[in-house]
Amino acid sequence: MSPERSNESREVKAIKVGGIEIDPPIMLAPMASLTTPSMRTVCENMGCPFTFTEMVSVDGLVRRPQKLLKFIVPSFNVARPYGVQLVGRKKEEMAEAAKIAVDAGVSVIDLNMGCPAGKVVSGGNGAALMKNPVVAGHIVEGVVRAVGDRVTVTVKMRIGWDENSLNAPEIAKIAESAGARWITVHGRTRGKFCSGPVNYSEIARVVDAVRIPVLGNGGIVDGESMDRMLDETGCAGVMIAQGALGNPWIFRELRAKLKGEEHTFKVTLNDRRYMMLKHFELYMREGRDVARAVREMRKHLGWYSKGVYGGASFRRKIFRLTDHEDVVHHIEALGAVEKCLSSESVGSRQKAGDQLDRKKVNSTQE
């Protein structure tokens, strides 16, 4: 394991690859049905330097490109570079899908070798690729060859399929040799999904195994947990998933910490209401019909309202609403008695794990 370093001696540098610079090296992870342009925009506005779209199936992208290209779009901060994560297992399809993604304008193509969802791994995709290092290597090599130097190719993986096959260092070295420019490691096995303690020592083994940057992922919900990830693994940066749900302010905190700036910002009820309204406004601009947009936005509003005075009543009400104006009215009325959320309460809420729809999220995210 890499030796633990103190905050004073730790230096986290910008990641500079393929013509893009990510400074500080903090990213929003790809999350199915969640990291749409609206969520990516609010996270960017709160200081996230780089974001990924939702995970995209290469089978669908190759066979029905016009249907899935709507997912490979920038945030509403249209000039900012962004990445897409592709999931698949056939070398030729992965390469073809990567070329489609390049033409769509992405700056980074991340190859999914970490998704634990049953419907994904049953087809040999996602985390199942960790059971076949040779195939994993061929996929990276094929995608790198297909896109050339036009974009950066990266890999996101877990520490292993299960506790008996902690082979992330092996996969990482293969990916590096095949041309991957950075590796993101979720510190749990596929069997753990997104629950249980993060295995920092296994991420540290990956850091020691390769020369390219390694990002730590899993269990980062505030500055303290980011510090632990960086100090115990020696990783070059972090990728945030569940810690950003209902809490885009996390990027302001993490950015300030890595920049050595004082962070005294506390999320108030007014901040939370404003962000809910802004996120909802942007979500409505994504092109869905009103009823569908309201249904899909409910989960985000539920996460935002955790810990807020009257939040439970608010969630019960909005989960029955289908009209945009009705939802806006309830957001504006949220917390009739003003109650500020301290940073401690935000951290406690995240560490406890938002139970709202979390079982569904756990099956696919991080």
Domain boundaries, the chain: 15-258, 269-341
pLDDT of 19 reads: 87
How many C-beta atoms surround the C-beta of residue 332 within 10 A? 10
**Separation CA 235–CA 229 (nearest Å):** 8
**Separation CA 339–CA 268 (nearest Å):** 7
Please determine, for residue 273, whether its predicted confidence score (pLDDT) is greater than 80. Answer: yes
Contact at 8 Å (CB) between 205 and 174? no
**Mean per-residue pLDDT for 57-79?**
92
Marked catalytic residue, from 43, 48, 115, 194: 115
Please determine, for residue 49, whether its predicted confidence score (pLDDT) is greater than 50. Answer: yes
Domains 15-258 and 269-341 equal at CATH topology level? no
Contact at 8 Å (CB) between 172 and 214? yes
**Separation CA 22–CA 359 (nearest Å):** 31
Model confidence at 366, in pLDDT bands (50, 70, 90)? Answer: low
- For the ranges 276-280, 352-356, 360-364, the lowest mean pLDDT is seen at 352-356
The answer to whether residue 48 is catalytic is no
pLDDT of 18 reads: 85
pLDDT of 357 reads: 44
pLDDT of 365 reads: 54
Fold of 269-341: 1.10.1200
- Reported as a single tens digit per residue, the pLDDT across 236-245 is 999 999 999 9
Q: Which CATH number applies to 15-258?
A: 3.20.20.70
| Whole-number average pLDDT of the chain | 89
Model confidence at 345, in pLDDT bands (50, 70, 90)? Answer: very low
Residue 292 CA, chain-centre distance (Å), reads 23
- For the ranges 28-32, 79-83, 98-102, 355-359, the lowest mean pLDDT is seen at 355-359
- Reported as a single tens digit per residue, the pLDDT across 119-163 is 999 999 999 999 999 999 999 999 999 999 999 999 999 999 999
Model confidence at 194, in pLDDT bands (50, 70, 90)? Answer: confident
Please determine, for residue 342, whether its predicted confidence score (pLDDT) is greater than 70. Answer: no
pLDDT of 353 reads: 39
**Separation CA 249–CA 193 (nearest Å):** 25
DSSP string computed for 109-171: EEEEE----HHHHTTT-GGGGGG-HHHHHHHHHHHHHHHTTSSEEEEEEES-SSTT---HHHH
